[in-house]
């Protein structure tokens, strides 16, 4: 290989694991300075820190277009953390860059199955709903009484999501 960038695929389990738990390993490839063996690269195995992902969260709070701006989405993320959950987002929120794409719920994002899913300002398109349909319990908060998510939820609250979330935060504190 004479020209960068390089793409290297390493088969799972190719390196013997020197740690007791090697299911989650992070392999860092380092440049080899040995002139005689330029094709040989060294590696370092490090244990990754386990963090709960949205897919594994027991509680998900999902922000939709009805949140109206990035600050409101950040407030919902704070609420999600307060109740021990994770923030998810609908496609309109992702496309408006109010939150990162790695939080996108739905067919082209995360397929979650939490115990509790709270949607705030989410319309509930079929593509989105596919990402939360395996939730044990869905609470939908939306000011549009004709919103599709209201018909698919276990509890439907037709009101401004902000008023409801603020009241829940006051109750929790």
Report which of 91, 96, 82 is spatially closest to residue 124, judged by C-alpha positions.
91
Could you give the domains of the chain? 7-50 (no CATH), 59-172 (3.40.50.1220)
Give the burial class of 161: count Cβ atoms within 10 A of its Cβ; 0-12 exposed, 13-18 middle, 19 or more buried.
Answer: buried
- Give residue-wise pLDDT tens across range 75-120: 999 999 999 999 999 999 999 999 999 999 999 999 999 999 999 9
Secondary structure class of 34 (helix, strand, coil): coil
Query: pTM for the complete prediction?
Result: 0.72
Measured distance CA(10)–CA(13) in Å, rounded: 9
Place of tokens 């860092």: 28
- Partners of residue 60 on adjacent β-strands: 86, 117
- Give residue-wise pLDDT tens across range 26-79: 444 444 455 655 555 555 555 556 677 899 999 999 999 999 999 999 999 999
């Amino acid at each position: 290989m004479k020209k960068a960038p390089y793409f290297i695929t390493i088969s799972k389990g190719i390196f013997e694991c020197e740690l007791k738990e090697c299911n989650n390993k992070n392999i860092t490839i380092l440049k080899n300075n040995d002139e005689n063996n330029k094709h040989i690269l060294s590696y370092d195995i490090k244990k990754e820190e386990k963090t709960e992902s949205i897919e594994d969260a027991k509680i998900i709070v999902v922000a939709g277009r009805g949140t109206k701006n990035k600050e409101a989405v950040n407030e919902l993320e704070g609420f999600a953390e307060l109740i021990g959950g994770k923030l998810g987002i609908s496609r309109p929120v992702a496309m408006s860059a109010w939150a990162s794409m790695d939080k996108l719920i739905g067919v082209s994002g995360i397929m979650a199955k939490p115990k509790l899913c709270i949607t705030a300002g989410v319309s509930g398109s079929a593509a989105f709903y596919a990402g939360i349909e395996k939730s044990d319990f869905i609470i939908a908060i939306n000011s549009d009484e004709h919103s599709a998510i209201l018909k698919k939820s276990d509890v439907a609250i037709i009101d401004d999501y902000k008023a409801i979330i603020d009241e829940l935060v006051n109750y929790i504190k």
